[in-house]
Structure 1
Amino acid sequence: MAMGAGQLRGVVERLITAGQWQAGGPHIVIVSDAGYDVNRLAWVLRDLPVEMVGRVRSDRVMRLPKPRVLEDRFRPRRCGPLPAGISPPGDITDTADLDRLYDAVRERGRGLDVLFANAATASFATLEQITGEDFDRIFEVNVKGTLLTVQKALPLLNDGASVILNASTAADHGTPAFGAYAASKAAVRSFARTWANELNSRGVRVNAVSPGPIDTSGITELVGEENSAAFKANLGAKVAIGRIGRPEEVAAAVAFLASADSSYMMGANLYVDGGEHQI
């Protein structure tokens, strides 16, 4: 599941403050996320020395409210205008939206050091139930959208940049009615291997992170508010550590993959799953 705006603060805090950057101040971080709106993310990060955080999501696929409605609802009006350099919401399956995002990065003139491709969507449907529309919707966002997000960033990636793809433990097991989502995440995992080979000559590292069940708003969006608590409890009971994960636990893994501390990792898949698939 994609992490929401507030839940990503830990990622950027670690990236910017952990002393893992070259001299000259923080470089640009792009976060591609399918959670809540960009304004909340902007205000979460407003006190951090982030030059730009771009967020591109699949609004129409997730059936979220229009960006303008989210802006009106969540912007803290007493705080004044949004911080400069925050890219407006978009759709990762829309090349024009991605072009607009990366044009903003290009104008900064500092390239791109970290790309976390995190946007995704999911739905439940068995083999008997799934339609071509269901399949196309999931693969358009999770597979095509991830490909476009990274492809269009290529001219901006600095030598030694880190690209992190959000896969999932769902790709490793056959959860009934979750086949299309699992297959899409298997494709993302495969992308990490192939792109690591293709970008190796530039010193760009590509890795994946595979979260297990994580306590995010994506669960509620998937099963509904009334079913959320029971669904989370059921998921937690199946995890070796005895609970579902916290977003900041995934954030720490992403920060590690984005940093020089993971300099000897390439094409890897880092599990953050509470032992779900390990023991």
Structure 2
Amino acid sequence: MVTGGTSGIGLAIARRFVTEGAQVFVTGRRQARIDAAVAELGPQAVGVRCDVGNLAELDALYELVTRRAGRIDVLVANAGGAEPAVLGDITQEQFDSMFATNVKGVVFGVQKAMPLLSPGASVIIIGSTTSARPDRGMEVYGATKAAVRNFARSWTLNARENGFRVNVLSPGPTRTPGLLGVAAEGEQEAFVKMFENVVPAGRLGEPDEIASAALLLASDTAAFVNGAEWFIDGGYTSV
């Protein structure tokens, strides 16, 4: 299960899991993007329209998964959104929207999946370097990612009872439509150059690089990795 799996990092993760032979459920809020993702991923993919911040839609999602698969081996809580605003300009609508998707969607997305998680299942929460290294205008978004990181730590305490492990995968600046969409029209090139100048690796990350890390966390190779936060960021949070 990959929430927000119709573009960017989510689609790259879904693509990698399909390549490895998995049946993958991908969610999104826009039917056209869902249809395009499923067409690309092929018959092993099932697309579901779902707003993860809507609990009724989450219930419908997991009812479908129960009928079609009966269990979830890997849950990637990737759906999220960001609306830049500095303190003084933050609106209630921006605040509520980001916390509904990025925090409420993760908490209830995991909680409602628990009856379907197979023994030893891997739960991967997509975080962000903004939780540790805030970027100007991204303070609310960074706060949502700090919140889910703390939830993951708390859930790790119950690993024996829950029967699954949970980790956070925190990408740095990555070449996705979501990141590039933050830049004003006509300023994307300068926006990318800004990150290239501050990321020690000298470039943006690629969605496939995040997908490789997700595949490792999902695999038995990482069976003893629990409660970790992995920064896949070219050194961005280290300096």
TM-score (norm 1): 0.76
Secondary structure of the residue aligned to 1:176 is: coil
Moved more, 170-179 or 196-205: 196-205
Identical aligned pairs, as a percentage? 37
1:123 match: 83
The answer to whether the 8 Å contact 2:12/2:207 transfers is no
For residue 229 of structure 1, the aligned residue among 189, 194, 212 is 189
Of 105, 123, 132, 1:172 maps to: 132
Question: Is the CA contact 1:34–1:118 (under 8 Å) kept in the aligned structure 2?
Answer: no
Find out whether 1:44 has 2:46 as its counterpart. Answer: no
CA shift in 2, pair 1:158/1:247, >3 Å: same
Q: Report how many residues are paired.
A: 235
Task: For 2:82, give the aligned amino acid.
Answer: A
- Give the Cα separation in 2 of the matches to 1:32 and 1:157: 17
RMSD over aligned CA atoms reads 2.3
Superposition pairs of residues 211-226 of structure 1, within 5 angstroms: 211-226=171-186
Task: Report the alpha carbon displacement of residue 200 of structure 1 after superposing the two structures with TM.
Answer: 3.0
Unaligned 5+ segments in structure 1 are 19-25, 54-85
Bigger Rg over Cα: 1
Alignment of 1:1-16 (within 5 A): 4-5=6-7, 8=10, 11-12=13-14, 14-15=16-17
Could you tell me which amino acid in structure 1 is paired with residue 7 of structure 2?
Answer: A
Gaps of 5+ in 2: none
Question: Structure 1 residues 206-215 or 135-144, which shifts more?
Answer: 135-144
Secondary structure at the aligned position of 1:277 is classed as helix
Structure with the higher fraction of residues in strand conformation: 2
Provide the residue aligned with 1:97 in structure 2.
57
What do the CA deviations read for 1:7-34 (whole angstroms, capped 9, x no partner)? 656534544555xxxxxxx665444567
Alpha-carbon distance in structure 1 between the residues aligned to 2:48 and 2:211: 22
C-alpha distance in 1 between matches for 2:152 and 2:27: 16
Deviation per residue, 1:104-143 (Å, 9 max, x gap)? 1111253110100001111121111112222111111111
**Range that drifts further, 244-253 or 222-231:** 222-231
TM-score (norm 2): 0.88
- Spell out the pairing of 1:107-146 with structure 2 (5 A cutoff): 107-146=67-106
